């Protein structure tokens, strides 16, 4: 009885604190993710006031949080939209992977870490935060801009890439090596293709089995189906997060729309729990030694991510200001980066400084990213673009002997 009472007190106090931090972050125009991570650091191992009784609760809640983040991403797109985006944005996705995953992997090797840590860090630096970016675009009133579809296409390609990357890295972290990772990747590819085919041909049947007219039944049905498929996917050595993502893709029409509305509060709750849990299992005393490397890595990969968006927007004929808006909007890393680092922490077989480096890296990019996204709106930046365009149009003066 005493333990359950302590659990209620700890969970209630921490959730109340998260509510306050979330409101504070939105008032200053930032993502709440860094504050959630800091809260976890403050109350985790080596923090100011370690919470022991609630750690198991937050561990389970964190796993549910990852699943809900992924199913909500899947609900945003139909199978046909995903296939269309994959075809049109594949070159931009390839550029994105090369420019942003390779620097992370190379950085890990420069630090003297092994190839497994390089594989993990490459994923952490590769993928942008869909949640943070969507919030920034909405806050800045850019959802209708010409460059916004380019940004979303890059994010969709990254989501699809994660559906293949996560099973690979999960298998490698489990110690099965490259052969096991290759098998897991083949299974993931087959599973994704199978689900996409089922979603395209029979998605309406799956959706019709879930009534959009009964909110309670819909919530329980979608949540139950998501957790069931995620669990079965994990049993088959395909990431539970990937299973959840595929469930979201399979649902469509009114069911997907109403499920998004019903699941959004649960996603926000358990996603916050997930970020807190990652902070709880990271010792804040490990962060100062990796702060400078994290800052260096952030500077390099913020530049490469900006270049990614710039090139993707230029490829489809977006003007210079829109190219910069696209590039700078893609800077923040968040959910997936922490998910990947969390997999490495759970495996326990990777470089121990990786969790601290990932936490510091995400904090830097998620705080700096929204501020950088505002740069193209400043008058001095607009003047610089105009002067640059004028200089490019100016013909060189001929030289006569």
Q: DSSP string covering 323-355, please?
A: HHHHHHHT----HHHHHHHHHHHHH--S-TTHH
- pLDDT of 272 > 50? The answer is yes
Average pLDDT in the chain: 80
* Tokens (6 digits) for 317: 């004929």
- Please report which confidence band the pLDDT of residue 400 belongs to, taking 50, 70 and 90 as the band edges: very low
Q: What is the pLDDT of residues 212-252, one digit of tens each?
A: 678 888 888 888 888 888 887 777 655 676 677 778 877 77
Residue ranges per domain, the chain? Answer: 62-379
Residue 91 is predicted with a pLDDT of 84
Q: Which CATH class is domain 62-379?
A: mainly alpha
Q: Is the dihedral of CA 280, 32, 228, 224 positive or negative?
A: positive
Q: Which residue has the higher pLDDT, 389 or 327?
A: 327
Question: Which percentage of the chain shows pLDDT scores above 90?
Answer: 14
Residue 401 is predicted with a pLDDT of 38
Q: Is the dihedral of CA 350, 355, 358, 361 positive or negative?
A: negative
- pLDDT of 296 > 90? The answer is yes
- Please report which confidence band the pLDDT of residue 397 belongs to, taking 50, 70 and 90 as the band edges: very low
Q: Which residue has the higher pLDDT, 315 or 213?
A: 315
CA dist 62 and 346 (Å) reads: 12
- pLDDT of 30 > 80? The answer is no
Q: What is the pLDDT of residues 337-357, one digit of tens each?
A: 888 888 787 777 677 788 889
- pLDDT of 202 > 70? The answer is no
Q: Which residue has the higher pLDDT, 79 or 134?
A: 134
Selection from 28-37, 68-77, 139-148, 378-387 with the highest mean pLDDT = 378-387
CB atoms within 10 A of CB 271: 25
* Tokens (6 digits) for 153: 């296409």
Question: Which percentage of the chain shows pLDDT scores above 70?
Answer: 81
Span 261-284, average pLDDT: 80
- Please report which confidence band the pLDDT of residue 124 belongs to, taking 50, 70 and 90 as the band edges: very high
Residue 2 is predicted with a pLDDT of 59
Look up the pTM and report it: 0.72
Residue 43 is predicted with a pLDDT of 80
Q: What is the pLDDT of residues 51-81, one digit of tens each?
A: 666 677 777 887 888 788 778 777 776 666 6
**142-146, 192-196, 370-374: which has the minimum mean pLDDT?**
192-196
Q: Which residue has the higher pLDDT, 313 or 191?
A: 313
**53-57, 81-85, 92-96, 366-370: which has the minimum mean pLDDT?**
81-85
* Tokens (6 digits) for 12: 């209630």
CA dist 376 and 386 (Å) reads: 12
Residue 46 is predicted with a pLDDT of 61
- pLDDT of 395 > 60? The answer is no
């Amino acid at each position: 009885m005493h333990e359950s009472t302590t659990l209620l007190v700890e969970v209630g106090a921490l959730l109340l604190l998260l509510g306050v931090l979330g409101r504070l972050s939105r008032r200053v125009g930032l993502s709440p993710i860094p504050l959630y991570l800091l809260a976890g650091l403050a109350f985790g191992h080596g923090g100011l006031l370690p919470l022991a009784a609630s750690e198991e609760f937050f561990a389970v809640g964190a796993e549910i949080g990852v699943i809900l983040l992924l199913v909500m991403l899947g609900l945003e797109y139909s199978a046909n939209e995903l296939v269309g985006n994959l075809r049109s944005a594949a070159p931009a996705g390839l550029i994105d992977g090369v420019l942003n995953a390779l620097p992370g992997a190379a950085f890990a090797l420069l630090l003297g870490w092994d190839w497994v840590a390089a594989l993990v860090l490459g994923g952490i630096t590769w993928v942008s935060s869909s949640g943070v970016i969507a919030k920034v675009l909405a806050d800045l009133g850019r959802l209708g801009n010409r460059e916004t579809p380019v940004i979303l296409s890059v994010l969709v390609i990254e989501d699809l890439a994660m559906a293949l990357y996560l099973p690979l890295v999960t298998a490698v972290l489990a110690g099965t090596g490259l052969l096991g990772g290759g098998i897991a990747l083949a299974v993931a590819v087959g599973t994704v293709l199978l689900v996409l085919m089922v979603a395209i041909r029979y998605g309406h049947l799956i959706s019709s089995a879930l009534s959009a007219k009964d909110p309670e039944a819909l919530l329980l049905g979608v949540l139950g189906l998501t957790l069931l498929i995620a669990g079965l996917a994990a049993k088959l050595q395909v990431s539970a997060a990937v299973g959840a993502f595929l469930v979201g893709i399979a649902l469509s029409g009114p069911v997907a729309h109403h499920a998004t509305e019903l699941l959004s509060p649960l996603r926000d709750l358990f996603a916050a729990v997930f970020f807190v849990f990652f902070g709880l299992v990271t010792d804040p005393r490990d962060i100062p030694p990796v702060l400078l490397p994290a800052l260096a890595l952030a500077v390099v990969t913020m530049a490469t991510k900006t270049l990614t968006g710039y090139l993707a927007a230029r490829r489809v004929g977006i003007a210079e200001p829109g190219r910069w808006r696209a590039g700078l909007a893609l800077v923040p890393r968040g959910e997936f980066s922490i998910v990947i680092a969390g997999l490495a922490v759970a495996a326990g077989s990777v470089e121990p400084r990786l969790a601290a480096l990932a936490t510091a890296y995400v904090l830097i990019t998620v705080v700096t990213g929204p501020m950088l996204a505002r740069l193209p709106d400043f008058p001095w930046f607009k003047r610089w673009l105009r002067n640059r365009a004028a200089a490019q149009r100016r013909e060189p003066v001929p030289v006569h002997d």
